[in-house]
Structure 1
C-alpha cells in the first residue's frame, strides 16, 4: 500500500512539473509555474521519505538542514543581477549530488558483489555526466562572476585533446561495464570526467555563456536520469528527462538565435582575438559622438515613442529599477515606452526578462525581437543600456564579420539612438559596433545606473 501511494505521489509530481514547464513559457504565468514546480518537488521529497530503502533519517535531516541553510540565502539575498552565477552554482551542486550517489552505489555494489552490467551502465553515465557537469558549472560560475577571464582560454590542438580525454573516459566506462570490480578504472573515469568539464568550458567565451548554462542544465538532467535508473526511482527519471531535453532544446534554440551551429559554440572559441588580415580595416570609420545627460533627457522627454534596449551592462550596473523609473516618467509625459528583448542578451536564458520583471516592469512592456523589430523605424529614440553585439549592424551588413547572419535588434533603423556605455570598449565578441559611430547615434558615457538617475532628474525638470 505504501509503495502504491509513493508512486501515485510521483505521478502527481510529474504532472506538476510538466504544468510548470508549460507555464514558464509565458511571462505572465511564470510565477505560477515556479509554484507548481516547488510544490511538485516538495511532494516528491515527502513521498520518497516513506521509501522502504530508508532505514535511518539522521543523515537525511542533517543534509536537509545544511541544504536549507545554504539555499535560503541563495534564493533570498542573491541579487537578480547575479542570477546567472547562482544558476551555474546550482547546476554544480545538483550534479555533485548525482555524482556522490553514483559513487556511493558503486561502493555498495563492490562491497556486496552485486553490480550487474545494466546497473553499471547507469552508474557509469551518472558519474561521468555528473562529474563533467560539476567542474563545467564551476568554470561557468568563474567566468560569469569574472573570477576567471570571460574570453576563451585556448591552446593548440585543444579540441582534439578534449575529445580524446572524453573518448578515454567513455572507454573506461565500457571497461567498467565489462568488469565492474576494477576500482582503479572507476577512479580514472572520475578524474577524466572532472578534467573534461574544465577543459570544455574554458575555451567558451562570455558571449556564449547563455548557451553553456542551458547546456549544463541539460547535462545535470541527464545525470539525474541515470541516477533514477541506478536507484530505481521513477520520479528522478521523469524529472531528469524533462530537465535534460528541455535544456538541450533551449541550447540549440539559442545557438540558432545567434546564427551559429551548436558545434561552433562548443568548439569555436568565439570571442578569441583573431589574427587580423593584412590590409584589413581596423574598425568602423568616424568617431563616437558624446552627449550630455541634459541633452539626452530633453530628447527623451518630448519623444512620442521610445524603445529601451537592455543588455548585460544593465545587469552589471544593477540599473533595472532606474530604467523602470525612467520609463514611468516618460509615459507620464505621454510617451510610449517598450523594452526590446533579444533572446541571448545577458548571461543566461531570459536574463533581461528576469531583471526587468524583478524591477516591476509590466510583462506587456517586454517585447521579443521578432515583434519589436518592425517598430524601430517609427521610434523617436532608442535607448541602449549596455548592449553591444545584439544590436551590431555588422551582423547584417558585413559578410566578413564573425557575427554575420546573427539575428539582431534593428536599433539602427530608429530615428535617433542614445547608447549608455561605461567606456569605449568592445563587447564580448571583441568587435567594434559600427552603430556607435553612426551619425544618428549619441554616446552617454558613465555608469548606467547613475546615468539613468541623472536622466530622470533632468526629465522632471524639463
Structure 2
C-alpha cells in the first residue's frame, strides 16, 4: 500500500509509523489512567479503543504483514461482534465475557507466534526470536484454556468447587518446568515439529490444570491474573513480529493486571500462592429458604417493617453483592434509595473490593442504574461510618460482611478485610436463604440480635420494599 505514496513520504514512512505508534501508546496510558475512576472510566475505555484502532490502521503501512482487505474485514467483523455483545450481554454475565476476552487475547498471541514460526525456515529464525515465540505460545496457550475454564466455573457448567487429584500441585509444577524446558529445546532445535507441538499441547493442558483447582471464591483474582497473562502474551507476540505498539500495550495490560491481582489478594488477606494452590472456596451451596441451625435464632422481617425502619432513619448504607447482580435488581434498588432520599434520609453505598465476581463489578452494576458516583464509597472510606449508621441494607453479599474474618483465627477467611456492618445499629440482610457464600462457611451476622433477614429474590424483595415505602 505504501507504493502509492510519493517517494519523499516513503523515505520517512518508517519514522512516521513509529511516531504514530508512540501517539497510540500515549492514548493507551491516558485511557488506563482514566479507568481508575467510575466517573472517567467510560471515556478511558473509549480512548483505549481509539488507541487500538490507530494501531490497527497504521499497521496497514507497516511491513505488509497481511493484506489490506483482510484487515478491513477483520475490523468490520470484530466490531460487529463487539457491538452485539455489548448490547446483549447482561451485567451478571460481564465476568464471563471478560474471561472470554482474556482467553481470545491469549489465543491470538499464541497464533501470531505460530504464524511467525511457520513463515520462515526454522534455521533462519534468530535465537532471541525463537525464545519469544516459545514464550508467547506458552503464555498465550495457558491463558486461552485457563480463561475458558474460568468462564465455565463462572457460568456454572463447571463446578465452582476446587477440582483436584492427589499430587495436583506437584504435577502442575513438573509440567511448568517441562514446558520451559521445551521452550529451550525449541530454541536449540527449531526444526523439530514434535517439540513445537508438544509445547503447544502441554501449555494448553497446563492452562486447564492451573485454573480447575481454584475455587469460586477466588474467581476475581483469577480473572485479574488471566488478564495480566493475556497482556504478557501480547507483549511477547510484539517481540515476535517486532511491533513496538504491541510490546508496550501488552506490557501495560500485563502490569495493570498484576497490580489489580495484588490489590485483590490484599482485599482477601490471601497470598497469590494460596489462591493458585490452596484449593479454597466453592459453589457456596444453594437453597430456597431459611434453614437455620437448631441452636441459632434467625429474626425474619417483612417489607413493611423494613420500610418503617429505613424511612425514619437518618443514615442508611447499602452494601451490594453478587446476589444483587444475579437478581438484576440494581434499578429497583435505585428506586428504593430515591424514595428514601425524598424523605431526607442520607444514603450511601459501601463497595468491597471483591464484591461480585470480578473487580469493579458492583461499581459498573450501580453505574448502569445511574447511581451517582459520589455516593459510592470504598471499604476504607465507609467502614468508619458504620458505627453512626442507623440501618445497613446488605443485598446479596455474604463473605465480605462475615465477622468471623475478625474474630476466628481458625477460619479460612480470618484476616480478610471486611465491611464492618456488624457495628451498625441495625443490619438487614437481603438473601434467598441461609446458605453459605463462596467461602463455604456460615455467617454469624445472620443470627445477631441486631440483624434481620429479608428472605427472597433481591428484585422481588426490593420491589415489595418500594411499595411499602409509598404507604409509610
* TM-score normalised per structure 2: 0.94
1:3 equivalent among 5, 14, 21? 14
Judged with a 3 Å threshold, the aligned counterparts in structure 2 of structure 1 residues 395 and 283 are, in CA distance, closer, same or farther, namely farther
Does the 8 Å CA contact 1:345/1:351 hold for their aligned counterparts?
yes
In structure 2, the gaps of 5 or more residues are: 1-11, 285-291
Deviation of 1:154 after TM superposition, in Å, equals: 1.5
| Counterpart Cα distance in 2 of 1:253 and 1:41 | 27
Alignment-derived partner of residue 214 in structure 1 = 224
User: 1:104 aligned to 86, 108, 115, which one?
Assistant: 115
CA distance in 2 between counterparts of 1:95 and 1:65 reads: 21
Q: Secondary structure at the match of 1:151?
A: coil
2:169 aligns with one of 149, 159, 175: 159
Q: Say if 2:46 is the partner of 1:70.
A: no
Aligned to 1:279: none
Q: How far did 1:81 drift?
A: 2.0
Aligned-partner Cα distance in 1 for 2:309–2:405: 28
Root-mean-square deviation over aligned CA pairs: 1.6
Deviation at 1:345, TM superposition (A): 0.6
Q: How many residues of Structure 1 are paired with residues of Structure 2 in the alignment?
A: 454
Q: Secondary structure at the match of 1:54?
A: coil
Question: 2:145 aligned to 131, 135, 152, which one?
Answer: 135
Matches of 2:66 and 2:200 in 1, distance apart? 29
Structure 2 equivalent of residue 88 of structure 1: 99
Which of 140, 145, 170 does residue 180 from structure 2 map onto?
A: 170
- Per-residue CA deviation, residues 156-186 of structure 1 (Å, 9 max, x unaligned), is 1110111111111111111001111111111
Once the 2 structures are TM-superposed, how far is the Cα of residue 284 of structure 1 from its aligned partner? Answer: 10
1:378 aligns with 2:388: yes
1:37 aligns with 2:44: no
Q: Tell me, in whole angstroms, the C-alpha distance in 2 between the residues paired with 1:461 and 1:120.
A: 72
Give the Å deviation of 1:190: 0.6
Among residues 21, 45, 59, which one is paired with 1:48 in the alignment? 59
Q: 1:397 aligns with which of 384, 403, 407?
A: 407
Aligned residue for 1:35, secondary structure, equals helix
Q: Structure 1 CA distance, aligned partners of 2:282 and 2:366?
A: 31
Residue by residue over 1:193-226, the C-alpha shift from the partner in whole angstroms, topping out at 9 and shown as x without a partner, is 1011111111111111111001001000000111
Q: 2: CA distance between counterparts of 1:211 and 1:141?
A: 13
Looking at structure 1, the residues matched to 67 and 198 of structure 2 have their Cα atoms a distance apart, in angstroms, of 32
1:353 aligns with 2:363: yes
The aligned runs of 1:308-457 (5 Å cut-off) are: 308-457=318-467
- Sort the Cα spacing of 1:62 and 1:152 in 2 relative to 1 into closer, same or farther, 3 A: same
For 2:67 and 2:161, locate their aligned partners in 1 and report how far apart those are by CA, in whole Å. Answer: 48
Cα distance per residue 1:119-146 (max 9 Å; x no partner): 1001011110000000000011111111
Deviation digits for residues 330-353 of structure 1, max 9, x if unmatched?
Answer: 101110000000001111111111
Query: What's the counterpart of residue 278 of structure 1?
Result: none
Residue 238 of structure 1, CA deviation: 0.4
State the Cα distance separating 1:55 from its structure 2 match: 5.5
Q: Following the alignment from structure 2 to structure 1, what is the Cα–Cα distance between the partners of residues 124 and 295?
A: 71
When residues 55 and 127 of structure 1 are mapped into structure 2, their CA distance, relative to the original with a 3 A threshold, is closer
8 Å CA contact 1:300–1:306 kept in 2: the answer is: yes
**Aligned ranges 1:265-344 → 2 under 5 Å:** 265-271=275-281, 286-344=296-354
1:27 aligns with 2:38: yes
Q: Does the CA contact (< 8 Å) of 2:160 and 2:283 recur in 1? A: no
Aligned partners of 1:285, 1:207: CA distance in 2, in Å?
A: 27
> CA–CA distance in 1 between the matches of 2:135 and 2:123?
20
Per-residue deviation, 1:149: 1.1
TM-score normalised over the length of structure 1: 0.96
Distance 2:283 2:369 in 1: 36
Residues 284 and 433 in structure 1, CA contact (< 8 A), matched pair in contact too: no
Deviation by residue 1:52-72 (Cα, 9 ceiling, x = unmatched): 323522332333333223211
Q: Is the 8 A contact 1:284 1:432 kept in 2?
A: no
Q: CA-to-partner distance for each residue in 1:234-275, whole Å, 9 max, x for gaps?
A: 00010011000110111011101111111001110111699x
Task: Give 3-state SS (helix, strand or coil) of 2:333's partner.
Answer: helix
Match of 2:208 among 185, 195, 198: 198
The residue number in structure 1 matching 2:4 is none
Gapped regions of structure 1 (runs ≥ 5)? 275-281
Q: Does the Cα contact within 8 Å between 1:215 and 1:251 map onto a contact in 2?
A: yes
Partner of 1:146: 156
Tell me, yes or no, if the aligned pair for 2:100 and 2:151 is still in contact at 8 Å: yes
Distance 1:265 1:87, change over 3 A: same
Give SS of 1:307's match.
Answer: strand
How far apart are the structure 2 equivalents of 1:452 and 1:292? Answer: 11
